[in-house]
């Protein structure tokens, strides 16, 4: 049996007439008759008693109709869910984010999805890249947005670069260093340095540019995976933020924060990647995430 046959039976049960049911279904009366006959043959018993011009359900027919109503309703919901899924308006996305992309994407993405795609279930987790890669491989996450340099090449991963962002030093607008035309690293180190864990490449560039004193392991006073909390601490203290200019964009644009003119200038960019399992078919709604990340992860 199939859903169409059950829909035909339901129409016939409502109208008690082959002609009216066929008219409602936009099929011929002979086609409807063949469909009901095929269903009766498969079930091995009649579903209708044809009494003159009337068609009455048999006891089996009544039971089948009761079950068919639920099946046809569920099938309709399933079709609707599939349509929404393909349009990017349904389904779910389970995302892992690194500290820096999380600081710039998490809240804006949640707001965007709630407004533009309210039927999509969104779950975001934060944590070390190694742990999130394990969750991705265990199918507990659909995609990661992390520092590209933290992902070792692997045949089972697809890594797409979605953004490259500049690293700098940032402090409060009324900070003593903000009045200087040029700042040395030694002057910056006179204050607490707030930073998320930095990649090995950024750490190497810091050491090459400023010497051993720039080793993040010793230079960083305040370290946290949550960049938003670090920015909050910098706005409320004399700490200096070392990280992505884009992560401090809101504070800089509002005038609460300023970028420090540290010399020599730090020419270090962070690269972010959209990571999925190679060969996995993505839900259409994940295209929304890709586009959103590409738009936001830029200077």
What's the start-to-end Cα distance of the chain, in Å? 59
My answer on whether 135 and 221 are in the same domain is: no
Cβ neighbours for 271, distance < 8 A, ≥ 6 positions apart: 147, 148, 149, 161, 163, 164
My answer on whether 288 and 141 are in the same domain is: yes
Q: Count of CB atoms within 10 A of residue 164's CB?
A: 13
How many residues in the chain?
299
Tracing tokens 């079930």 back to the chain, one arrives at 43
Which domain CATH number covers 109?
A: 3.40.190.10
Give CA–CA dist 2/261, Å, rounded.
71
Per-block average pLDDT, block size 10, for the chain (299 residues)?
90 88 90 91 89 82 89 78 65 88 89 91 92 91 92 93 92 96 95 88 87 89 89 96 90 96 88 90 85 87
My answer on whether 256 and 133 are in the same domain is: no
My answer on whether 287 and 243 are in the same domain is: no
My answer on whether 188 and 265 are in the same domain is: yes
pTM of the model: 0.62
Cβ atoms of residues 208 and 285 within 8 Å: no
Q: For the chain, what is the largest distance between any 2 Cα atoms, rounded to a whole number of angstroms?
A: 102
Q: Of 148, 168, 167, whose CA–CA distance to 158 is shortest? A: 148
Which residue range forms the structural domain that includes residue 241?
166-269
Report the DSSP pairing between strands 222-223 and 143-147.
unpaired
My answer on whether 113 and 124 are in the same domain is: yes
Cβ neighbours for 281, distance < 8 A, ≥ 6 positions apart: none
Which domain CATH number covers 10?
A: 1.10.10.10
My answer on whether 143 and 285 are in the same domain is: yes
- E strands, 98-196, in order: 121-126, 143-147, 157-172, 193-195
Quote the pLDDT of residue 256: 96
Give CA–CA dist 295/299, Å, rounded.
10
For helices 286-296 and 99-116, give the axis angle rounded to 10 degrees: 120
My answer on whether 179 and 260 are in the same domain is: yes
Task: Point out the domain boundary residue: 60, 84, 108.
Answer: 84
Angle (CA) 133 127 192, round 5°: 135
Quote the pLDDT of residue 242: 95
Whether cis (ω within 30° of 0) applies to the bond prior to 128 is no
Cβ neighbourhood burial of 54 (10 Å; 0-12, 13-18, 19+): exposed
As for how many domains the chain has, the answer is 3
My answer on whether 171 and 153 are in the same domain is: no
My answer on whether 69 and 102 are in the same domain is: no
My answer on whether 64 and 114 are in the same domain is: no
Which domain CATH number covers 225?
A: 3.40.190.290
């Amino acid at each position: 049996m199939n859903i169409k046959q059950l829909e035909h039976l339901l129409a016939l049960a409502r109208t008690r007439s082959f002609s009216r049911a066929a008219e409602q279904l936009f099929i011929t009366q002979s086609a409807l008759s063949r469909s009901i006959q095929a269903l009766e043959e498969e079930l091995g018993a009649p579903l209708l008693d044809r009494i003159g011009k009337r068609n009455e359900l048999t006891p089996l027919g009544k039971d089948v109709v009761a079950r068919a109503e639920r099946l046809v309703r569920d099938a309709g919901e399933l079709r609707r869910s599939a349509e929404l899924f393909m349009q990017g308006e349904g389904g779910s996305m389970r995302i892992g984010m690194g500290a820096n992309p999380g600081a710039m994407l998490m809240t804006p993405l949640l707001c965007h999805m709630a407004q533009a795609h309210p039927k999509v279930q969104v779950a975001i987790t934060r944590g070390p890249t190694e742990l999130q890669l394990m969750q991705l491989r265990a199918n507990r996450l659909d995609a990661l947005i992390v520092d590209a340099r933290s992902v070792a090449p692997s045949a089972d991963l697809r890594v797409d670069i979605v953004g490259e962002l500049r690293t700098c030093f940032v402090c409060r607008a009324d900070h003593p260093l903000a009045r200087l035309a040029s700042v040395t690293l030694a002057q910056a180190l006179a204050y607490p340095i707030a930073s998320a864990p930095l990649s090995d490449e950024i750490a190497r560039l810091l050491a090459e540019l400023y010497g051993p004193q720039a080793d993040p392991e010793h230079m960083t006073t305040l370290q946290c995976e949550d960049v938003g909390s670090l920015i909050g601490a910098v706005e409320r203290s004399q700490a200096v933020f070392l990280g992505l200019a884009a992560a401090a964009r809101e504070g800089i644009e509002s005038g609460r924060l300023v970028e420090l003119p540290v010399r020599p200038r730090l020419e270090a960019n962070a690269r972010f990647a959209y990571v999925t399992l190679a060969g996995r078919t993505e839900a259409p709604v994940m295209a929304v995430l890709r586009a959103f990340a590409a738009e936001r992860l830029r200077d």
